[in-house]
Amino acid sequence: MNPHLKLLLAAALFTAPACGAGLPPEKIWQAAPARGSPPPATNRFFVPPELARIADWKISFTTRAGETWLGGGTHLAWHHRGQWKVFASTNQLGPEQPVGLAEISDGRIWCATSNQVWEFDGRDWLAARLVAGPIHSLAATRDGTLWIATAHGLLRFARSTWIVNGLADGLPSEDVLSVQEDENGSIFAETAPGWSRFEPEADTDAPRTEISSPEFNLANIPEDAAITLHFRGSDPHEQTASSNLLFACRLDEHSWSPFEPAAPVVYSGLGLGRHVFQVRSMDRNGNREAIPAQLEFTVVVPWYREARLVLVLAGALLVSLFFAALALNRHRHLRHSYAQVGELVAERTRQLELANRELFHSQKMNALGTLAAGIAHDFNNILSIVKGSAQIIEDNLADPEKIRTRTARIQTVVQQGAEVVDALLGFSRSDGAPAALCDLNAVVADTRRLLGDRFLHEVEVRFEPDASLPEISAPRDFIQQILLNFIFNADEAMTGRKRIEISARLAEQLPEELFLAPAPAPKFIFISVHDHGPGIAPEIRARIFEPFFTIKNLSARRGTGLGLSMVYELAKKMHAGLAVESVRNAGSTFTLILPVKP
């Protein structure tokens, strides 16, 4: 082959790895050529006679200072300053069945048992770390790192931090049998599939950390609050999964905590003022974040410890208590007043009920007294006709024609008198007749007949009957008493020429303004009494049905104020309604509304 070609080929082969060296290997553990296994441990070491009977010594280790350690069973022996010191373990309070011993660069002695790593502090053995799987061996390298080969990965202790390497870091198997360091300082791990070499240059980029605390306003945290800080990290090249990163944190320039897996940090009882929380992460290659992530927050005095605010709130509380006391006292007085008013109302109600019962009959008799003059005049006319007719018959006994004429005349006036007497007897009954079917046109006509000829001569009373009115079941006497009260009030409301219109009609809609609502029904009969008086003033219209309320106090005909109140009670007993329309200087209309039930 051409020598120049050989030179170019050699240069290419030499420079190719160098070009690739700029790119990090895929993992920090790479497959390596097979290495010779370390010489098997031998039990041929010197055991002093005084120690031979204590334990079955399995391992021996000599430190750089020339001190000797023996291990076996539940005992460790240390030859120090010409004397042997024995460490015995009971109930796993010390190393038992030691697997190996090692010394790191700072002179500390380590011991591995089947599932735990121990550290000697110069006086006693302290448990350093519990390991999940069986430990096969441990070794200390020149850079001060302690390596532990276990059935569940490779564990190393460097710079006060424990780091675990496994399949995710390039090892072909979790079960690591041993660890060796060659003369160049390279670290090799032995697994069943083969050897792997530690390549720390494969990942030199440190991870990055983010901090958050979403539940607080970081500029205004109460002094007594507990603040929870969350953080997470990420590896730039994803050599180490986020869940495998380790974190160390500190607050306000205090000491850094050991590197541990991510977990929320909770602080409480912090001092007032500004605080700085810092976190830095480390990956599975031991790369530590150079510039830690930090979060600033401020702790402030809670409101109940702020003197000015407490004073303001105390003042507000005192004012509130003062007004609350006033309100309570007012409420107590009002309750007492309400109780007194309730007693007065109850007493007044009882008196009104007694007055209603006592005056119910007297009201009728007052109405009869009002009619007495007209009725007496009518009966005087009837008796005069009877007396005159009897005299004429007595003087003309021989004239049959005159006798028949006068006899018919007597019968006519007697019939008129009997009708008046029947109406008076029905009106004078105090309990009222039971409800019965009645023709309202006839009821109004009979009521008009009760007024007598004399009343009808003084007051013009017109009635407009409605032939379409159906018969209804109602107390006839109650209707008559209500109409008589309406008529007498209409008479007293007018002066000069008096004229009253009575009408009856059938309707389906109720008026908008009612003093008393009737029972629900598909149709209603309205019986209205209209006068041509001065009307009722709007300011007193709402009180016209109140007991003892009258507008005739200053007139010669002083009223009792019970007429319309009796009308209201009678209408309520019949489940009827009442309506009043009044226009100043145009008269008033009082309407009795009777429900027509199907």
Residue spans of the domains in the chain: they are 24-202, 208-305, 310-431, 432-596
Selecting from 2.130.10.10, 3.40.50.450, 3.40.50.2300, 3.40.50.1000, what CATH number does the domain 24-202 have?
2.130.10.10
**pLDDT number for residue 98:** 93
**pLDDT number for residue 311:** 85
Q: Domain 432-596 sits in which CATH superfamily?
A: Histidine kinase-like ATPase, C-terminal domain (3.30.565.10)
pTM of the model: 0.49
Question: Do the beta carbons of residue 164 and residue 284 sit within 8 Å?
Answer: yes
d(CA 347, CA 361): 22
Q: Which of 549, 451, 531 is nearest to 489 (CA)?
A: 531
> 108-112, 277-281, 451-455, 498-502: which range is least confident on average?
451-455
**pLDDT number for residue 369:** 60
Q: Amino acid identity of 86?
A: V
Q: What does the DSSP 8-state code read for residue 226?
A: P
Question: What's phi and psi for 275, nearest 5 deg?
Answer: -130, 150
Q: Which two tokens stand for residue 245?
A: 């990163």
Q: Is the pLDDT of residue 556 over 60?
A: no
The predicted-structure confidence for 83-135, as pLDDT tens digits, reads as follows 999 999 887 788 999 999 999 988 999 999 999 999 999 999 999 999 987 99
**pLDDT number for residue 7:** 38
Our measurement of the distance from residue 449's CA atom to the centroid of its chain's CA atoms, rounded to an integer in Å, reads 72
Terminal alpha carbon distance of the chain: 132
**pLDDT number for residue 400:** 87
d(CA 359, CA 569): 12
Q: Is the pLDDT of residue 554 over 80?
A: no
Q: Which two tokens stand for residue 186?
A: 């390279």
Q: Is the pLDDT of residue 235 over 60?
A: yes
The predicted-structure confidence for 327-373, as pLDDT tens digits, reads as follows 999 999 999 889 999 889 998 888 887 777 666 656 555 655 655 65
d(CA 359, CA 352): 10
d(CA 207, CA 235): 4
Q: Domain 208-305 sits in which CATH superfamily?
A: Immunoglobulins (2.60.40.10)
Average pLDDT of the chain to the nearest whole number: 83
